[in-house]
Amino acid sequence: MLGVANDRSIAWGCTAQARAQGAEVVASCLNDKARKWVTPLTDPIGVDLVNCNVEEPGQLEALVEHAVRKLGKLDFVIHSIAWAPLDDLHGDVVDSSREGFARAISVSCHSFAELAKLCAPHMPDGGSMLSMSYLGSGEAVPNYGLMGPVKAALESMVRYMAMELGPKNIRVHAVSPGPILTRAASGIADFDGLMASAQAKAPLQRLVTLEEIAQLSTFLCSDAASGMTGQTIYVDGGVHAVD
């Protein structure tokens, strides 16, 4: 479970839901600074926590090695990390720096492929791999900026990974939640306005909850979703379905 930051993070919601359903889980947080917020969550429910900054060589490998030692084999992985330099995130896409775009793609997108390569050999019975996307991958959302093209690349990667890993009975999906106030989302300009717009547009006339995102994610990791792969699945109150 990559990307637990605090009790509002999607990775934490998925961790708590998976544990409630009886799964053994190893989770990651970014660094020691993040641990002080995360260990009070993970320790009481018996979840091992490992520091993992995917930009640091060897840390992703160390996380997977720890998980395999702890769990024996892997049944699912959930990748819930995204990042871009603030200057690039807050500016126009046409003004984004080459370096900033490359780092955003590396952290938010390519790390999912790296994770899959490391985990697949430890899924002898198949399994599921999930990453988190957003509506801004397929349409231009004000203030989402650079992350829109990055998430579009992530969703394309999901389709290719599903094709490549399908013969190993490994299923791959992107979950596309509606906006909720996570630490990563707080870096997006006028995120409150984005949430208000989503609520006004949603057929359900509300925002989704962390629990609803986690319930979809754990369903996709379960045998109940055994016939599904390669999809971007929305949990956004229906926003994606209306103009």
Contacts of 98 (CB under 8 A, 6+ apart): none
Closest Cα partner for 45 from 28, 26, 29? 26
- Active-site residue, from 76, 83, 112, 144: 144
Contacts of 107 (CB under 8 A, 6+ apart): 54, 55, 81, 82, 83, 84
For 7-68, give the secondary structure using H, E and C. Answer: CCCHHHHHHHHHHHCCCCCEEEECCHHHHHHHHHHHHHHCCEEEECCCCCCCHHHHHHHHHH
Distance CA 82, CA 241 (A): 25
Q: Annotated binding residue at 216? A: no
Distance CA 7, CA 133 (A): 19
Are residues 80 and 3 in contact, defined by beta-carbon separation less than 8 angstroms?
yes
Q: Annotated binding residue at 105? A: no
Q: Annotated binding residue at 151? A: yes
Q: Is 234 a catalytic residue?
A: no
Q: Which two tokens stand for residue 232?
A: 């971007």
Q: Annotated binding residue at 81? A: yes
Q: Annotated binding residue at 9? A: yes
- Active-site residue, from 12, 76, 134, 234: 134
Q: Annotated binding residue at 78? A: no
Distance CA 83, CA 162 (A): 24
CA distances from 216 to 128, 219, 234 (A): 13, 5, 9
Q: Is 144 a catalytic residue?
A: yes
Q: Annotated binding residue at 45? A: no
> Can you say which residues are annotated as belonging to the binding site for substrate?
84
Which positions are annotated as active-site residues? 134, 144
> Can you say which residues are annotated as belonging to the binding site for NAD(+)?
3, 9-10, 81, 151, 180-184
> Can you say which residues are annotated as belonging to the binding site?
3, 9-10, 81, 84, 151, 180-184
